[in-house]
Amino acid sequence: MFGKQTKTEGQVAEAEQPQDVAPKKKSKKPLLIGLVLALLLGGGGFYVTWAGLLFGSSTEHAEGSAEPNPLPDISFVPIEPVIVSIGPGAEGRHLRFTAQLEVAGSHSAEVTTLLPRIVDVMNGYLRAIEPAEFDDSAALVRMRAQLLRRIQIVTGDGRVRDLLVTEFVLN
């Protein structure tokens, strides 16, 4: 009457396993433990090094930081503004140039005495510059170096350390 259906072993095994079972998720616990340990060890290492417990505290560094280094003995000698016409046919084009000289403190009076000669050297050089040279992006650097060298020749070695350009305006 009723036909017997026989199932093979493979069909029985498939029937016993549910189809909707999701695979087990990996635990995040080891990852969190590793992250916490890394943060603790990093923070502890920083503290030990910062506190001087690892290599010993450096007393010379702590004492030296209380008192700042003294400033070098320098002074600044202002140069009067120089206004120079640019080029032979440049109607209305002018250069306004203002600078200060960085000098050793002991030579400040000597350099101040030589200011008329310094301004004369600057005027001569600035008037000789071609108008096309001002278009170059490195023109100011070149002019500054040339002027400094000429000023050092006029004042003598060791008196003028640097030329600080405070105004450079082309009209």
What CA–CA distances, in Å, run from 108 to 7, 10, 125?
A: 112, 105, 24
pLDDT tens sequence across 107-150: 999 999 999 999 999 999 999 988 888 888 899 999 999 999 99
Q: What CATH class does 74-170 carry?
A: alpha beta
Residues 6 or more apart from 130 whose CB is under 8 A from it? 87
The model's pTM: 0.58
What are the residue boundaries of the structural domains of the chain, listed by start?
Answer: 27-69, 74-170
pLDDT tens sequence across 94-108: 999 999 999 988 999
